[in-house]
Structure 1
Amino acid sequence: MNFDLPDLRAFVAVAKLGSFRAAAEELHISQPALSRRIEKLEDALGVRLFHRTTRKVDMTTVGREFSHRANELLNSLEQSLMGIRDVAAHVSGEVTIACIPSAVRYFLPGFLRIYHERYPQIMVRIIDQGANEVLTTILRNEADFGLNYIGTQEPDLEFEPIMKEPFVVACRLEHPLARKKKVTWSDLTSHEYMSVTKASGNRFLLDLALTDNPERPRWYCEAQHVSTLVNLVEAGLGVAAVPRLSMPPDGHPTLISVPLVEPAITRTVGLIRRRGRPLSPAAQQFYDLLFALAPKAKKRKTAAR
């Protein structure tokens, strides 16, 4: 039939994004060039794939059916290429990951480095957002998958746990708490304490766990993201309770993580994706990499000092 792979990719992009303009931007071509590809594909198939108006683009019944087949075809082709070691360096594509900020600085870079070494031609976009925003991004199909600690109750999402991590006290090496083997929540009441805002999912977890705890620290400074708290701690402005994932590995020249107990509070971090929506081969490779290696990262980061 008189169409080629770029025509098929153009159709899949418009079907996914529901917009010729957005699809053209994603494929890095002009909108007229994209329209020509769609018209070429429609002429070759002898059917209309989209209903076009000045305001929106909708797929026809035939278009919706063909969309499933086109995705299967492209995924099968790309998966075949991914599996061939000799051509892996030449496979191109894009992967978009929505990720909580606490996992961006110290956790994700190691996986990104491995992935880039295997597939140097694949571009990776990281959208660092709060937990609730990550959920919204995945539900809107604005990212292939996400890294989050909430989402288990969402019927339209699949949540695959990859690690369970504790909250720890973040402090500088010269701070009095740094010399302790463990710190209780009541110990924090006598120090300058900082916290994330009530809009943060981490704050919700902490407040819920400390509901019946009469000795809880009062914060003097709030920040929206855990990563900002860690920066403030490093600047010497106080201490904070943060997920272990947001802290550097042992041996950092400035910061240290001290176990936080009475009560010990944990959160489960997992991979989230739209239920029933297949990942592209490029995204599936990154997803599988995180799933396979994350438990090892957990053991390394939470090992007793």
Structure 2
Amino acid sequence: MELNYLRAFFEVAKAGKFSEAAQKLNISQSALSRSVSLLEESEGVILFDRSKSGVTLTAKGRDVFQLCEDLFRTEKAIENLCRNVQETCEGPLKFAATDNVVNDYLIEPLHTFRRKYPKVIPSITSGSPDDIVNSLIHTDNEFALLFAKVALPNIEYQKISSEVMTLVCKPEIWKECKSSSNEKTIKNILEKYGYLCSIGALQSTRPKRVVMELFGEMPQVGLEMNSQEAQKRFCLSGEGFAYLTRFMVEDEIKKGLLFEVPVDNPHEFNLWLAYRKGRQLSLTSRTFIEHVTKYVEGHL
């Protein structure tokens, strides 16, 4: 197999377009296209689905792309070793995280990390758990940070920390619906305002079990949205109950903006590090993950 053909394929896969990859490699677009075609012909595979807007990897192409990442990272490591070059923490830091992780976990550690490593350039993809885990397969994001595992066969998970959940609502709502017991007050609020949850969450096995354990019955849904940050904001506006990590609403509870509802045995959710199986993370990514882990442990 011709290594230059693999490199041509690799650059096109990263760029998503032949024109951009050709510019980076400083060769003509026709020469680049020919190299990729020769690779596909010699190995009897189709690596790209081609369209006017660019290219997307086929299933086989994704597998080859993952191996190419390891191949060219190893090639670079060998080159550095032979030239006695010390790997440094610099350059792009490409990862994905759910919005609540970005807003409530990463602001301060990312700030201190950038002060320590000013040559690192973070690039963060935010979205739902499904979106960000899929970005590990379809983009060059190295890892993801999220609270929910997404079941994909080629993704590995590593626990970073556990976070206690808390049920919250606007204090005025609690006072308005106050009854002879907390259980009756909770029922009154659910009937009048409802429960804020992710879209389709109550049809999923674990979220359904969690709310059943929390309320003793399936609650009336007030609003559905996939953004936990949005759930918190709607809760602050008085739209009902939200069940969020305590870390996420700690400041609002202390300031009296949200009321922490007393519940027995609140659940814990794990903060997960997700990455593709067999992928060796760069020094920059490994250093940042260690930095975030220490920060989270220090604030538990």
Per the TM superposition, whether the score is higher than 0.5 is yes
Aligned to 1:135: 133
Pairs within 5 Å for 1:93-242: 93-151=91-149, 154-172=152-170, 174-176=172-174, 187-191=185-189, 192-200=193-201, 205-211=206-212, 214-242=216-244
Cα displacement string for residues 221-279 of structure 1 (whole angstroms, at most 9, x for unaligned residues): 22232111111122233332222243243675463362652452221111111111111
For residues 51 and 101 of structure 1, the distance between their equivalents in structure 2, rounded to whole angstroms, comes to 42
For residues 251 and 131 of structure 2, the distance between their equivalents in structure 1, rounded to whole angstroms, comes to 27
Pairs within 5 Å for 1:28-39: 31-36=22-27
Q: Structure 1 residues 163, 14: closer, same or farther in 2, change over 3 A?
A: same
Aligned to 1:18: 13
- Of Structure 1 and Structure 2, the greater helix share is in 2
For residues 261 and 253 of structure 2, the distance between their equivalents in structure 1, rounded to whole angstroms, comes to 16
Q: Structure 1 residues 20, 129: closer, same or farther in 2, change over 3 A?
A: closer
Q: Any conservation in 2 of the 1:193–1:219 contact (CA below 8 Å)?
A: yes
> Structure 1 stretches of 5 or more lacking a match?
1-7, 39-47, 83-87, 300-305
Q: Secondary structure at the match of 2:38?
A: strand
Aligned to 2:38: 51
Task: Tell me the CA shift for residue 14 of structure 1.
Answer: 5.2
Q: Any conservation in 2 of the 1:186–1:217 contact (CA below 8 Å)?
A: no
Q: Secondary structure at the match of 1:267?
A: strand
Cα displacement string for residues 133-166 of structure 1 (whole angstroms, at most 9, x for unaligned residues): 2222223344110012333854422211111122
Q: Structure 1 residues 19, 267: closer, same or farther in 2, change over 3 A?
A: closer
Task: Tell me the CA shift for residue 171 of structure 1.
Answer: 2.8
Equivalent position amino acid for 1:261 in 2: V
Task: Tell me the CA shift for residue 170 of structure 1.
Answer: 2.6
Task: Tell me the CA shift for residue 81 of structure 1.
Answer: 4.0
For residues 128 and 185 of structure 1, the distance between their equivalents in structure 2, rounded to whole angstroms, comes to 37
Pairs within 5 Å for 1:240-279: 240-249=242-251, 253=255, 255-256=257-258, 258=260, 261-262=263-264, 264-279=266-281
Deviates more, 1:269-278 or 1:117-126: 117-126
Q: Structure 1 residues 67, 244: closer, same or farther in 2, change over 3 A?
A: closer
**Residue 282 (structure 2) aligned to one of 274, 280, 283:** 280
Pairs within 5 Å for 1:75-94: 75=77, 77=80, 80-82=86-88, 91=90, 93-94=91-92
Aligned to 1:70: 72
Task: Tell me the CA shift for residue 291 of structure 1.
Answer: 2.8
Q: Structure 1 residues 22, 254: closer, same or farther in 2, change over 3 A?
A: farther
Q: Any conservation in 2 of the 1:194–1:221 contact (CA below 8 Å)?
A: yes
Identity within the alignment, %: 14
For residues 293 and 124 of structure 2, the distance between their equivalents in structure 1, rounded to whole angstroms, comes to 17
Q: Structure 1 residues 152, 237: closer, same or farther in 2, change over 3 A?
A: closer
Equivalent position amino acid for 1:99 in 2: A
For residues 294 and 275 of structure 2, the distance between their equivalents in structure 1, rounded to whole angstroms, comes to 17
For residues 98 and 135 of structure 2, the distance between their equivalents in structure 1, rounded to whole angstroms, comes to 12
For residues 298 and 18 of structure 2, the distance between their equivalents in structure 1, rounded to whole angstroms, comes to 38
Aligned residues: 264
Aligned to 1:5: none
Equivalent position amino acid for 1:280 in 2: S
Task: Tell me the CA shift for residue 176 of structure 1.
Answer: 3.4
> Structure 2 stretches of 5 or more lacking a match?
30-34, 41-47
For residues 135 and 233 of structure 1, the distance between their equivalents in structure 2, rounded to whole angstroms, comes to 27
Aligned to 2:32: none
Q: Any conservation in 2 of the 1:158–1:274 contact (CA below 8 Å)?
A: yes
TM-score relative to the length of structure 1: 0.67
TM-score relative to the length of structure 2: 0.68
Q: Any conservation in 1 of the 2:167–2:263 contact (CA below 8 Å)?
A: no
For residues 203 and 184 of structure 1, the distance between their equivalents in structure 2, rounded to whole angstroms, comes to 27
Q: Alpha carbon RMSD of aligned pairs, Å?
A: 4.3
For residues 204 and 266 of structure 2, the distance between their equivalents in structure 1, rounded to whole angstroms, comes to 15
